[in-house]
């Protein structure tokens, strides 16, 4: 496996292929009197905004920040109606470039776009997107990664000299964004992301470790860590509270301290290795396939400046904390946490996280109870008002592999948006993408066929469609998936 040290950026820039685009965008931003910064409401969108905001602030460029759930034509029009001449879009913008370019031609504003979604069929001068340089936007660079590349280009000239502070500390947030978009799903971050990890490690804000690859190493008590790790699917441990406790109690490791269960972070290196070996032995003995046994251990990322045992220390838990704010109309809270507020904003974010966790767990329960419907090439469920449209995609992703939900075909989820519109979220897998699946194209084309709009990535995408068009949309989506995989 390539480590950060083995893969230094040759010219000191984290993603050399994007350097020219980043410098052009940075020059345009420096020329602006002030900038409207617009970003998306999820973990990657929030970290994108925080990285871009820090870059602008440090470069002395005045700005204001605005978050949006979906950058549709109406939203772009309301941005155009503000009196900002320069608008910086992060973690969205590429997919709506046709709409944005129309406003640009009308002289309403100059767009600067730092994004990683599939671009619409239009172009603009200041466009920083990995896909334009042959870098995969779904697995190699996130919105926060694109914003980070821009922030490096915004550094004051001459900051190559080590006495001048640079923006490499922002690599920590960029990695939170990448993991929030699940770009580490093949056991660690790959491609362009590795240049960002290398920057973060060199700046001392990030540590890369080979460790147990389960969600909740910082905050979950050990039995919960194992019980909830449904991705591991170890018989008698995953989804089995008593089984997880029995397994841990049978090991020669002190599992409690002062009567309370310890967490993964509380264990010494030696204790961790003992638990991992026992877990692997148990998985192998229970017939878990080799590939899944291997995925129990992977590259993990720790934010070196955050306190151990908190949600902020682990990039994955940090990203969930951010989703818990932004997807509930409190992006301001998540942004404040990203920018360093460890008091009121962090308390508020933790309260929102409890609510988010409950919603995810209830949503997942609902889907597995109700089951999914099957078409020829895809499976789907309609949550109506039972699951918030802003988290129905997360629930759909978590449901894959649960009882009755196949890993072999894409999942499409519907939730009510308002009286007129329905939200659609679609999730695939790396395997299906390698077979030809491109959900971004499916969501865009099937939604446009029924008067909606959509886009995203090959492996995860979404759309908005008019109410009453679900059946027609599904027919078209099923047909398109069949064509791609056929």
Residues numbered 76 to 115 that lie near Zn ion (CB under 5 A) are: 91
**Is residue 181 within the footprint of Zn ion (CB under 5 A)?**
yes
The nearest distance, CB 84 to ligand C5P, in angstroms, is: 23
Q: How far apart are the C-alpha atoms of 46 and 142, rounded to whole Å?
A: 12
Q: How far apart are CA 455 and CA 425, in angstroms?
A: 10
Query: Would you call 111 helix, strand, or coil by DSSP?
Result: strand
Check residue 44 for interaction with Zn ion (CB under 5 A).
yes
The tokens describing 227, both together, are: 């019980």
Asked if 47 touches ligand C5P (CB under 6 A), the answer is no
Q: Does 461 bind ligand C5P (CB under 6 A)?
A: yes
The answer to the question of residue 180 lying near ligand C5P (CB under 6 A) is yes
Binding of Zn ion by 55 (CB under 5 A): no
Residue 55 interacting entry, from Zn ion, ligand C5P, none, C-beta within 5 to 8 Å by type: none
| Contacts by residues 370-378 (CB-CB < 8 Å, ≥ 24 positions apart) | 371/404, 372/399, 372/404, 372/405, 372/411, 375/474, 375/478, 376/478, 376/482, 377/409, 377/410, 377/478, 377/481, 377/482, 377/485, 378/409, 378/410, 378/411, 378/412, 378/474, 378/477, 378/478, 378/481
CB-nearer residue toward ligand C5P: 14 or 393: 393
Q: Rounded to an integer, what distance in angstroms lies between the CA atom of residue 418 and that of residue 423?
A: 9
Count of residues engaged in binding ligand C5P, rule: CB under 6 A: 37
CA distance 237 to 228: 9
At residue 349's C-alpha, the angle toward residues 346 and 350, to 5°, is 90
Phi and psi, residue 140, nearest 5°: -110, -20
Q: How far is the CB of 232 from ligand C5P (least distance, A)?
A: 11
Residues from 412 through 441 that contact ligand C5P (CB under 6 A): 425, 427
Q: Is 181 in the site for ligand C5P (CB under 6 A)?
A: yes
Of positions 349, 394, 450, 481, contacts ligand C5P by CB under 6 A: 394
Site membership for ligand C5P, residue 319 (CB under 6 A):
yes
Nearer to ligand C5P, 43 or 154 (CB): 43
Continuous H helices in 121-264: 143-153, 171-180, 192-203, 222-228, 241-249
348 contacts ligand C5P (rule: CB under 6 A): no
Binding segment for Zn ion (CB under 5 A), chosen from 103-111, 137-145, 378-386, 406-414, is: 137-145
Rounded least distance, CB 462 to ligand C5P, Å: 3
Q: Which residue has the tokens 């008019």?
A: 466
Positions touching ligand C5P (CB under 6 A) are 40, 42-44, 70, 91, 95, 117, 138, 180-182, 185, 215, 228, 319-320, 323, 357, 360, 393-394, 397-398, 425, 427, 453-457, 459-464
Chain residues in the site for Zn ion (CB under 5 A): 44, 91, 142-143, 181
């Amino acid at each position: 496996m390539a480590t950060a040290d083995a893969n230094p950026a040759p010219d000191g820039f984290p993603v050399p292929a994007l350097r020219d685009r980043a410098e052009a965008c940075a020059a345009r931003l420096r020329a602006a009197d002030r900038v409207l910064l617009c970003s998306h409401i999820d973990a990657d969108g929030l970290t994108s905004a925080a990285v871009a905001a820090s870059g602008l602030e440090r470069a002395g460029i005045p700005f204001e920040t605005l978050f949006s759930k979906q950058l549709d034509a109406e939203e772009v029009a309301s941005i155009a109606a503000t009196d900002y001449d320069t608008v910086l879009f992060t973690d969205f913008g590429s997919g709506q470039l046709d709409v944005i370019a129309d406003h640009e031609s009308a002289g309403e504003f100059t767009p600067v776009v730092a994004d990683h979604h599939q671009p619409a069929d239009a172009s603009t001068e200041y466009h920083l997107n990995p896909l334009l340089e042959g870098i995969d936007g779904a697995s190699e660079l996130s919105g926060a990664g694109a914003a980070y590349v821009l922030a490096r280009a915004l550094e004051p000239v001459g900051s190559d000299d080590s006495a001048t502070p640079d923006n490499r500390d922002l690599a920590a947030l960029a990695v939170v964004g990448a993991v929030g978009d699940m770009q580490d799903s093949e056991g660690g971050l790959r491609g362009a992301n590795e240049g960002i990890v290398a920057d973060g490690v060199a700046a001392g804000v990030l540590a890369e470790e080979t460790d147990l690859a389960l969600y909740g190493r910082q905050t979950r008590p050990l039995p919960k860590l194992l019980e909830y790790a449904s991705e591991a699917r170890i018989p008698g441990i995953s989804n089995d509270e008593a089984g997880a406790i029995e397994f841990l109690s049978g090991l020669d490791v002190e599992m409690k301290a002062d009567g309370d269960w310890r967490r993964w972070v509380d264990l010494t290196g030696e204790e961790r290795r003992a638990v991992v070996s026992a877990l692997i032995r148990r998985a192998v003995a229970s017939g878990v396939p080799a590939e899944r046994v291997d995925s129990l251990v992977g590259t993990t990322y720790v934010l070196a400046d955050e306190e151990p045992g908190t949600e902020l220390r682990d990039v994955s838990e940090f990203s969930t904390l951010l989703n818990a704010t932004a997807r509930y109309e409190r992006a301001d809270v998540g942004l404040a946490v990203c920018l360093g507020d460890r008091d009121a904003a962090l308390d508020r974010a933790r309260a929102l996280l409890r609510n988010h966790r409950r919603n995810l767990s209830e949503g997942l329960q609902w889907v597995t109870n109700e089951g999914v419907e099957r078409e020829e090439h895809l499976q789907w469920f309609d949550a109506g008002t039972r699951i918030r449209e802003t988290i129905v995609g997360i629930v759909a992703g978590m449901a894959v592999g649960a009882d009755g939900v196949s890993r072999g075909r894409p999942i499409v989820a519907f939730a009510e948006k308002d009286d007129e519109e329905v939200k659609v979220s679609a999730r695939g897998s790396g395997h299906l993408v390698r077979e030809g699946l491109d959900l971004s194209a499916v969501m865009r084309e099937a939604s446009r066929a029924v008067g909606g709009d959509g886009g995203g990535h090959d492996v995860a995408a979404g759309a908005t469609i008019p109410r009453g068009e679900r059946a027609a949309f599904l027919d078209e989506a099923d047909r398109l998936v069949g064509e791609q995989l056929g």
